[in-house]
Amino acid sequence: MAQAKKALTRQTRSQNTKQTQTYKNYIGGEWVPSRSGDWIENRNPADTRDVIGRFPASSEADVDAAVAAAAAAFDAWRLTPAPRRAEILFRAGEILMRDKDKYTRDMTREMGKVLKEAGGDVQEAIDCTYYAAGEGRRLHGFTTPAEMPDKFAMCVRQPVGLCGLITPWNFPMAIPSWKLMPALVCGNTVVIKPAEDTPLSTHNLIKACEEAGVPPGVVNLVTGYGETVGARISSHPSLRLISFTGSTETGRTVAYACAERNAICSLEMGGKNAIIIMDDADVDNAVEGAVWGAFGTSGQRCTASSRLIVHKKVYKKFSSKLIERAKQLRVGNGADSAVDVGPVINRDAVEKIMRYMDIGENEDGATLACGGKQLTKGDYVHGYFIEPTVFTDVTPDMRIAQEEIFGPVTSVIPTKSLDEAIEIANGVRYGLSAAIYTQDVNRAFHAMNETYTGIFYINSATIGAEVHLPFGGTKGTGNGHREAGTQVLDIFSEWKSIYVDYSGKLQRAQIDNKKAIG
């Protein structure tokens, strides 16, 4: 995904150096340049003439320095009482709140999503920070009866150690916060690498942590490319845990690297999410949900509603209303409050999405009902804009119905029954989110039970997670972990079971000493 910006960077580095703001890594409490001396230019995807800044294209040595700083800070941080750690996070939340408008504008500028959505992304980071901070006075373990008399049994959480966090560009502040804040409240120290397309939002998050008083070395930021910085983080022998969000392909590479040294590996990856629209659905409401789910963030959400499985009885009505609404959407620079759909992230994304337009129409034989084109004239000339696109007459086996396109493209698939719709919904390699529109509670609960996904919505689109519920998916989407909710604490802490024998004598467990009762 980042290749397009990369190419641009190399072409234009010398032209822009003087006037371009320069950013640094954050290692051991200091803002430092990369040892590599190389940079990545961060450009606005709505207008690539707008250079936001240059960020270190860091080397493996920078990662090693960051890991050393995290190691040096670990003992003091893990021994800081969790409620004290949480106080610092609460302060970080206040700072994020104070600077929300600036962070929102920064995010729209570097990532392209419309201001309202960028504000939502920053708000999610704030919510997540407060929520994690609240855990500082809980981090609950449990007690349980022991098998023997005069014996006590309990279980407590302990920090994992040094954690590497690797994040994507589509939620450039929310996703880093989903990992960082729970990691910190649990007492871990961290090295974080944002996506090369969106380092500024993570830089802003780390600045807030610094100002809030997170001690030096507890959080370390290293920007750069996946194949250097990401790969070194994934394979670093001192990093006990890697938490990754991104594509399924990259996630697999990260998992291999972790398996080599038996590191804990938490993966949040791709999706191909379906909304089922039944014949008793409120069609207008379903159309609004589909438009929001498919074209919000220009379709660049892991939870995007990229498949709409529609009962034959309402298929025509639903499709024509959907097409009408998709055509009304205003595409443009997300900084303009009149715009509904911003640009996609970079040139590679444009090329990939346009390839799928061709596959859908010419290989798969679906009907291109609206959209399908890149916008390249007038205000669009310097950005990466694509028309909101609807394919109809799609069958479940088509590539556009199976593969993650990650753009403003959705496929309408006709179905004859609820059971068939569920089979279609489940018939992809991913398992992140699914939804149903119906007025029938029995159908709703049946679908909820039978869809094999981590998230399910009734009468709502497949997007819109809240930070206090677990987030993640099955099959190709995840490896069994969940972020957000209290479940994220199970990623960032290790359970320790503790037995206290206060009988004053040897009591032997795992020996068959049971007597019949009575």
Q: Could you say which of 406, 437, 457, 492 contacts ligand NAD (CB under 6 A)? A: 406
The CA distances from residue 434 to 239, 423, 463, 469, 486, in Å, are 34, 12, 9, 16, 22
Instruction: Judge whether 189 and 74 are in contact, CB under 8 Å.
Output: yes
Q: Could you say which of 26, 169, 356, 385 contacts ligand NAD (CB under 6 A)? A: 169
Q: Could you say which of 111, 184, 192, 302 contacts ligand NAD (CB under 6 A)? A: 302
121 is a site residue for ligand NAD (CB under 6 A): no
3, amino acid identity? Q
The strands making up 367-370's β-sheet, listed across from edge to edge, are: 367-370, 389-392, 409-415, 305-311, 273-277, 433-437, 455-458
Which H helix or E strand runs over 130?
Answer: helix 115-134
Residue whose pair of structure tokens reads 């009505």 in the numeric block: 317
In a 3-state reduction of DSSP, which class is residue 312?
Answer: helix
Considering only residues 267 through 296, tell me which ones interact with ligand NAD, judged by CB under 6 A.
268-271
Q: Which residue stretch of 16-24, 39-47, 240-248, 314-322 sits at the interface with ligand NAD (rule: CB under 6 A)?
A: 240-248
Q: Which residue stretch of 19-27, 87-95, 167-175, 214-222 sits at the interface with ligand NAD (rule: CB under 6 A)?
A: 167-175
Q: Which residue stretch of 45-53, 76-84, 108-116, 222-230 sits at the interface with ligand NAD (rule: CB under 6 A)?
A: 222-230
Q: Would residue 268 show up in a list of annotated catalytic residues for this protein?
A: yes
- Residues touching ligand NAD, count (CB under 6 A): 31
Cα 440–Cα 444–Cα 447 angle in degrees, nearest 5: 140
Contact letters for ligand NAD, residues 415-454 (x by CB under 6 A): -----------------x----------------------
Nearest CB to ligand NAD, comparing residues 183 and 195: 195
346 is a site residue for ligand NAD (CB under 6 A): no
187 is a site residue for ligand NAD (CB under 6 A): no
Instruction: Judge whether 220 and 188 are in contact, CB under 8 Å.
Output: no
342 is a site residue for ligand NAD (CB under 6 A): no
| C-alpha dihedral sign at 232, 234, 237, 240 | positive
**In the complex, least distance from residue 341 CB atom to ligand NAD, rounded to whole angstroms:** 18
Q: Which residue stretch of 166-174, 289-297, 308-316, 486-494 sits at the interface with ligand NAD (rule: CB under 6 A)?
A: 166-174
What phi and psi values does residue 172 have, to the nearest 5 degrees? Answer: -75, -10
Name the DSSP class of 381: T
- Rounded distance between C-alpha atoms, residue 429 and residue 381, angstroms: 36
Considering only residues 85 through 104, tell me which ones interact with ligand NAD, judged by CB under 6 A.
none
- Rounded distance between C-alpha atoms, residue 264 and residue 255, angstroms: 9
210 is a site residue for ligand NAD (CB under 6 A): no
In a 3-state reduction of DSSP, which class is residue 373?
Answer: coil
227 is a site residue for ligand NAD (CB under 6 A): yes
Residue whose pair of structure tokens reads 């159309």 in the numeric block: 287
Residue whose pair of structure tokens reads 């962070």 in the numeric block: 103
Name the DSSP class of 303: T
Tokens of 486: 């209290």
- Rounded distance between C-alpha atoms, residue 406 and residue 301, angstroms: 7
110, amino acid identity? E
- Rounded distance between C-alpha atoms, residue 186 and residue 158, angstroms: 7
Nearest CB to ligand NAD, comparing residues 162 and 269: 269
Q: Could you say which of 226, 296, 343, 372 contacts ligand NAD (CB under 6 A)? A: 226
**In the complex, least distance from residue 270 CB atom to ligand NAD, rounded to whole angstroms:** 4
Nearest CB to ligand NAD, comparing residues 234 and 415: 234
Instruction: Judge whether 272 and 306 are in contact, CB under 8 Å.
Output: yes
**In the complex, least distance from residue 115 CB atom to ligand NAD, rounded to whole angstroms:** 20
234 is a site residue for ligand NAD (CB under 6 A): yes
Nearest CB to ligand NAD, comparing residues 62 and 279: 62
Helices (H), 429-506: 441-450, 489-492
245 is a site residue for ligand NAD (CB under 6 A): yes
Instruction: List the catalytic residue out of 60, 110, 124, 268.
Output: 268
Catalytic residues: 268, 302
- Which residues of the chain form contacts with ligand NAD (CB under 6 A)? 1, 166-171, 193, 195-196, 226-227, 230-231, 234, 245-247, 250, 253-254, 268-271, 302, 404, 406, 432, 473, 477
